[in-house]
Amino acid sequence: MTDDPQLERYFTENRELWDEWTDIHAASPFYDLAAFEDGESTLREIEREALGDVSGKTLLHLQCHFGLDTLSWARLGARPTGVDFSPRAIALARRLAAKHHLPVEFHCANIYALDGIADRRFDIVFTSYGALGWLPDLGPWARAVAARLAPGGVFFFVEFHPVVWMFDSELQSIRYSYFNRGVISETAKGSYANRDEGGERRSHGWNHPISDVLGALLGVGLRLEAFAEYDYSAYNCFANMYEVAPGRWRIRGHEELPLMYSLRASRP
């Protein structure tokens, strides 16, 4: 995957982290697996409106975790394929697909090593909410997106704003650069879905300014169609949040911060 042993160590430790998180997340109210199994969609308004009617369309979901959004796209009529690097997450995703008779294909792979995996063209490539910060370099990511988009295909991406990742975990003070100045390694208890579950775990991430995201996608020939920033989060996943409207959360004391952004691009 990479010739850099340090980077390989980061990937290995992050994969082990997400394996542990899969069990925690599947049992958490944050993911509300029971509601999904009762028929509720996990997709948010932003991505549903951006992609519209997906009936019959092929869709590749990168960094899909244990597949609830991927499976929700299938319920809307898409023909999805999910990819994630956590074996435990993919195993659970496959069980859920079989249990609910949803025709979804899941692959376990790092998106930096997709050769031979989901190796075809899709109408839609999708990724969302907390995915990009686990990638050290956006060049291979953008090339993977472009390589798997059919001509005229759409890439839709919605992500937490890089300004948020400048702060410490309690969002009290700025700790990190807005720019990608190297790995951000942290040790913290629990996860964003359950801060009290389990012991302390080590993670490694990277902040990516929006200019780097746009530059990577434009650099592989994609055409930007839409871009938006949001003053709310679709998830209650940061410290000191409160709900201002159904499914819209802000950080108390930091209401002026941008919390998410989205973009839609296409392959000519």
Cβ atoms of 241 and 215 closer than 8 Å: no
Identify the domain containing residue 30 by its residue range.
5-266
Give CA–CA dist 79/73, Å, rounded. Answer: 8
* Number of domains into which the chain is organized: 1
pTM exceeds cut of 0.95 = yes
Domain CATH code at residue 261: 3.40.50.150
Predicted confidence band of residue 188 (pLDDT cuts 50, 70, 90): confident
At residue 256, the pLDDT reads: 96
Give CA–CA dist 234/246, Å, rounded. Answer: 9
Q: Return the beta strands (E) in the chain as ranges.
A: 58-62, 79-84, 105-108, 122-128, 149-160, 184-189, 200-205, 223-230, 241-245, 248-251, 260-266
Q: Is residue 166 scored above 80 in pLDDT?
A: yes
Q: Is residue 198 scored above 80 in pLDDT?
A: no
At residue 71, the pLDDT reads: 98
Better pLDDT: 189 or 246? 246
Rounded mean pLDDT of the chain? 96
Give CA–CA dist 17/87, Å, rounded. Answer: 11
DSSP 3-state of 32: coil
At residue 82, the pLDDT reads: 98
At residue 186, the pLDDT reads: 93
For range 120-148, the mean pLDDT? 97
At residue 3, the pLDDT reads: 77
The pLDDT tens digits of the residues spanning 7-41 come to 999 999 999 999 999 999 999 999 999 999 999 99
Cβ atoms of 5 and 13 closer than 8 Å: no
